[in-house]
Amino acid sequence: MAIKLDKDVEQRLIGSIQRYCAEHLDEEVGDLKARLLLDFCLREIGPSVYNQAIVDAQAAMQERIAELQTECYETEFSYWKK
- Residues 6 or more apart from 50 whose CB is under 8 A from it? 1, 3
Q: Cα–Cα–Cα angle for 45, 7, 32, nearest 5°?
A: 65
Question: Would you say residue 82 has pLDDT above 70?
Answer: no
| Residue 24 scores a pLDDT above 80 | yes
In 3D space, the residue among 58, 36, 55 whose CA is nearest the CA of residue 47 turns out to be: 55
The per-residue pLDDT for 49 is 96
Residue 15 above 90 pLDDT? yes
What was the pLDDT predicted at 75? 83
pLDDT at 42 over 80: yes
| Residue 48: exposure state from Cβ atoms within 10 A (0-12, 13-18, ≥19) | exposed
Average pLDDT over residues 43-70: 93
Residues 6+ apart with CB under 8 A from 34: 14, 15, 17, 18, 21
Entry pTM: 0.74
